[in-house]
Amino acid sequence: MTPTDRCPVTDEAATTQSVVGDFIEVECPTCGTFRVAQSALAQLRDMPEGLSLDALSKAKKRAEINEDEVPVIKTYDLVMS
């Protein structure tokens, strides 16, 4: 568990834990289960919620296409288009 236990996307109460590699895993009641690269975490927390939800949406779409088990928000998901 991390000290904050907050979703980096919605800032609501969530369960977070470190996983092997450069990621944390988040279980949020609104967003579901997803991972965030450590390199993207601080930037994601500083973004407006609409943009962070967009980053999560990109990660979820990629996970569906790649048939990954858990969506992963990476730094390039935070680039505004």
| Rounded Cα gap, residues 38 and 25, in angstroms | 10
Model pTM?
Answer: 0.85
- Torsional sign, CA 63, 5, 3, 53: positive
The DSSP secondary structure of 53-80, one letter per residue, reads HHHHHHHHHHHHHHT-SS-EE-GGGGS-
| Rounded Cα gap, residues 42 and 63, in angstroms | 22
Question: How many residues are present in the chain?
Answer: 81
Query: Per residue of the chain (81 residues), what is the pLDDT tens digit?
Result: 444 589 999 999 999 988 778 899 999 999 999 999 999 998 998 888 889 999 999 999 999 998 868 999 999 999 864
